[in-house]
Amino acid sequence: MKTGLNCRIALFLFCGILALTVSCLAYGQKEPPPSPPSNTQVPAPHKETLPVAPSALAARPQRECEEPEPTFTGLEYNGPMKKFVAHIAGKPEIRTVAHPRDHFGKIVCSLPVKKKFMLFARDTFEPVTFLIAGFNAGLSQAENDDPTFGQGAEGYGHRFGAAFADQVSGQFFGTFFYPTVLHEDPRYFRSGYGSKTSRLFHAISHSFVTHTDNGAHTFNFSEWMGASSTTALGNLYHPGNHRGFQPAARGVAYSVATDMGFDVLREFWPELTKRLRLPFVVHTNPGK
């Protein structure tokens, strides 16, 4: 009885987050002024028009966008399970783009809704996602989290399903849903140059500042709202989760910290591939 009540509370919280998002977006859109009746003639206001020189119009170039170049140009590996190795080693690059340095006013081309969904699907159903879900399910079984799942193969199967659902919901909210609704870019823009300290700060700050679809910067609402929605939704199929504000806040903080660590991995991934001698051909000047 208590579990059912908690599930309903979590569901109401999740719906409230979605309703708050929609209401904020609707509030930001001003209603157009009412048009006059068709039988009423409204005189047009007199405006003094000044001639515009053609040179002035030519001096307003439109900002062009450019597609980012890939960091890795090939795979120097012909051994067994070549595709699997490529998927494992290329996981950090799925949501990573090189920030252009010599763009001369250009911006990285934004992702339309279709490509955001394709990015969500690709990042979700990579082999690494299943490995992470299996690892998290093993830890949960060892610590006997969600004891109603039981132990043994059946208990592990339940925990694996819940862990995989966590991965899917996190990717859905953080990569597709909120970036689409809020017009934010879900990708990580790798700096790739400067001191290690500045690059580390750049990677950490991505959890707070992200790019919009038009190339501007904004607070990373998708990160925090996605983590909140994933935590609230997880209470529906994790009967062992502690309910309340503090456990939910810890879950959100853990999710954001995990994504922050992954952004650090994305920033230094080319250097790590060289150090670990992974079979990638690294582009020498990413972003140029």
Task: Name which residue leads in pLDDT, 117 or 237.
Answer: 117
Closest CA to 227 of 257, 198, 203: 257
Task: Name which residue leads in pLDDT, 179 or 26.
Answer: 179
Percent over 90 (pLDDT), the chain: 32
What is the pTM assigned to this prediction?
Answer: 0.69
Give the amino acid at 86.
A
Residue 55 in this model has a pLDDT that exceeds 60: no
Q: What is the pLDDT of residue 28?
A: 40
Give the model confidence (pLDDT) of 100-133 as tens digits. 655 556 677 888 999 999 999 988 888 888 988 8
Q: What is the pLDDT of residue 19?
A: 45
Task: Region of 207 please: left (phi>0), alpha (psi -120 to 50) or beta.
Answer: alpha
Task: Name which residue leads in pLDDT, 23 or 204.
Answer: 204
Confidence of residue 23 (pLDDT cuts 50, 70, 90): very low
Q: What is the pLDDT of residue 79?
A: 62
Confidence of residue 181 (pLDDT cuts 50, 70, 90): very high
Closest CA to 62 of 7, 6, 124, 107: 107
Closest CA to 140 of 225, 241, 58: 241
Residue 5 in this model has a pLDDT that exceeds 50: no
Mapping DSSP onto H, E and C, the string for 43-90 reads CCCCCCCCCCCHHHHHCCCCCCEECCCCCEEEECCCCCCHHHHHHHHH
Confidence of residue 178 (pLDDT cuts 50, 70, 90): very high
Confidence of residue 11 (pLDDT cuts 50, 70, 90): very low
Residue 39 in this model has a pLDDT that exceeds 60: no
Task: Name which residue leads in pLDDT, 90 or 63.
Answer: 90
